[in-house]
Structure 1
Amino acid sequence: MTTTTTITVAAIATALAFGLIANHLRRRRLTNDDDDDEASVSDLISPLETLAVLLVAFVIVVAAESYGAAATAVEAEASRVDQLYEVADYAPEPQRERLQAAAVCYSRAIRAAEWPLMAEGGAKSPMASVWSTDFRRHFKELAHKGDATFSLLVEADDERSKARQTRISEASPAIPSFVYWFMVVALAATVGAFAFGLPRKRGPSHLILLCVLAALFTGSLLLIEDIDNPFSGRIRITNEAMREAAEDISEDFATDHPTSTLPCDADGQRTTT
């Protein structure tokens, strides 16, 4: 359990406890003729409830959009690496083998070296960038030759680069910390207000529904925290797409160039100059 999770749960639980205590003290001072006081408390709680619900809905939408963009970028990057390998098959030698080797090494470096950085907020791995630099070097050689595959390869690489940049940028939380904590305070205040405003003649159902409400608010906050960290949460995005692409084009390279050796190891680290 992270520090944020612990504080979130503690805030809601504390608000619930204080609300119930305050409600108990309030009940002791009320008489049978104080129904108007209960009605006024309910009127004050209603706007707070509306604010809390709208705030949660807005933040969930923002976090979900960021998570979806990250997942789409991961799939797109793996697809473009595979496409780059396939298009390079129509390029002349020696650029064909060099580009395909670079594609294999790039996919391996992303999976092994850059992916762990996603859980820390996202950053480019120099190991992977070595191979993307190789792409451009080989593209220049094809441009000088006037090869027809040049534009197709550049287009595929441009889409790969954009997908990689999106993946990295979406690794950082989309919701600022102060917005998240403001939401925690708002929901805690709402739970506390509901507890404080429980009717004088309450039954077990009131307490059960209050606890359910507190649990749902807490679950919403934890869900938002989880999906706002798409590469480190409980429902984090995995590197399965890039792993599959790496295995696929590695097998293709072994078939297409049986006498050649890749210029990198299994983790994408360069082994030859």
Structure 2
Amino acid sequence: MVLVIVVALLALLAGLAANRWLRPRLVNADDDEGMAVKDLVGPLLTMTVLLLSFVLVTANGSYGRAEVASRGEARALDQLVETAEYAPATERARIQAGAVCYARAVRVQEWSAMADGNGSPAPSIWSTGFRQNFENLAGQPVFGMLVAADNKRSDEREERLTQATSSIPSTIFWFLLATLVITVTALGICLPRRNNRGQVITLVVITALLTTALVIIRDVDRPFGGIINIAPTAIAEAERQAHRDFAANGPAADLPCDAEGNRAT
């Protein structure tokens, strides 16, 4: 984000400097005419529409799928906890306790790691525990329902981690940044040398809008980091409900993990 702002500012200064020192060598030294403010509106609207369209596609794509996956994972985890009510007491307590710890590991450890496009091994410890507990229930009616709920949770987690990585290749981002530099510099060269206050203000506005659009693209492309991010609200609610069911079935039992989802020692 800082890089985009710095490069855009340098491009703006380069355009204004070219207008001051390079333009007199290309045209009549007494020239007071140049691109009028109304002439700048065309490129402004064109670039703005194109970039905003790109932002909408990105937002409805990667961001939307990431949000759906995070909510789907929470629903699958909640279904796993509710289905465990039909299991024997020992397996029920282990599954529900593991669900609480899994949700904590996702909410605290994996969510912060996804801001950089990475995952965390902490939730996998508890998902492995789910399958180990399922083995003791093989042949019972509840076995199939638990496996189906856990498979759904696994699929949604995989989709969430996939959408956490950047969906826009770095080549495309640098191409957009180069386009911004060329556009702003070219518009700066076309400005008149004198009586150009309105044109300079318009160029500054164009630069600010294009820079903001590119920053939004960069920010939305990583749904779990930045300003426009997805909060772990759904998984936190699933954790709360799982902890409620676990405590209701065994008030004196302790969870096998700490507040961050790490296995208790």
**Kept after mapping to 2: 8 A contact 1:77/1:159:** yes
Answer yes or no: is 1:261 the counterpart of 2:260: no
Q: What is the percentage of aligned positions where both structures have the same residue? A: 44
**Kept after mapping to 2: 8 A contact 1:70/1:171:** yes
Separation in 2, partners of 1:55, 1:216: 10
Gaps of 5+ in 2: none
Q: Structure 2 counterpart of 1:58, which letter?
A: F
Which of 190, 196, 202 is 1:197 aligned to?
Answer: 190
Report the Cα offset of residue 48 of structure 1.
11
Which of 180, 203, 213 is 1:210 aligned to?
Answer: 203
Q: Structure 1 counterpart of 2:124, which letter?
A: S
Answer yes or no: is 1:135 the counterpart of 2:130: yes
Separation in 2, partners of 1:205, 1:38: 11
Separation in 2, partners of 1:129, 1:60: 34
**Kept after mapping to 2: 8 A contact 1:23/1:196:** yes
Distance 1:180 1:56, change over 3 A: farther
1:51-73 deviations in whole A, cap 9, x for unaligned? 78536633552355212222222
**Kept after mapping to 1: 8 A contact 2:32/2:194:** no
1:234 maps to: 227
Answer yes or no: is 1:26 the counterpart of 2:23: yes
Report the Cα offset of residue 50 of structure 1.
5.1
TM-score by length of 2: 0.84
1:22-42 deviations in whole A, cap 9, x for unaligned? 23342573378998x979xx8
Answer yes or no: is 1:110 the counterpart of 2:106: yes
Report the Cα offset of residue 93 of structure 1.
3.2
Answer yes or no: is 1:81 the counterpart of 2:74: no
Answer yes or no: is 1:91 the counterpart of 2:87: yes
Gaps of 5+ in 1: none
Q: Structure 2 counterpart of 1:136, which letter?
A: R
Separation in 2, partners of 1:165, 1:201: 59
Distance 1:195 1:251, change over 3 A: same
Q: Structure 1 counterpart of 2:146, which letter?
A: L
Separation in 1, partners of 2:9, 2:110: 39
TM-score by length of 1: 0.82
SS at match of 2:86: coil
Distance 1:254 1:221, change over 3 A: same
SS at match of 1:136: helix
Separation in 2, partners of 1:257, 1:251: 10
Separation in 2, partners of 1:181, 1:139: 49
Distance 1:150 1:215, change over 3 A: same
RMSD over aligned Cα atoms: 3.1
2:63 maps to: 67
Distance 1:103 1:38, change over 3 A: closer
Q: Structure 2 counterpart of 1:228, which letter?
A: D
Report the Cα offset of residue 157 of structure 1.
1.0
Report the Cα offset of residue 133 of structure 1.
0.9
Report the Cα offset of residue 108 of structure 1.
1.7
Report the Cα offset of residue 226 of structure 1.
1.4
**Kept after mapping to 2: 8 A contact 1:52/1:186:** no
SS at match of 1:121: coil
Q: Structure 1 counterpart of 2:175, which letter?
A: F
Distance 1:38 1:255, change over 3 A: closer
Which of 7, 14, 37 is 1:11 aligned to?
Answer: 7
Q: Kindly report structure 1 stretches of 4+ aligned residues shifted beyond 6 Å.
A: 31-35, 46-49
Separation in 2, partners of 1:173, 1:107: 24
228-237 vs 56-65, which deviates more? 56-65
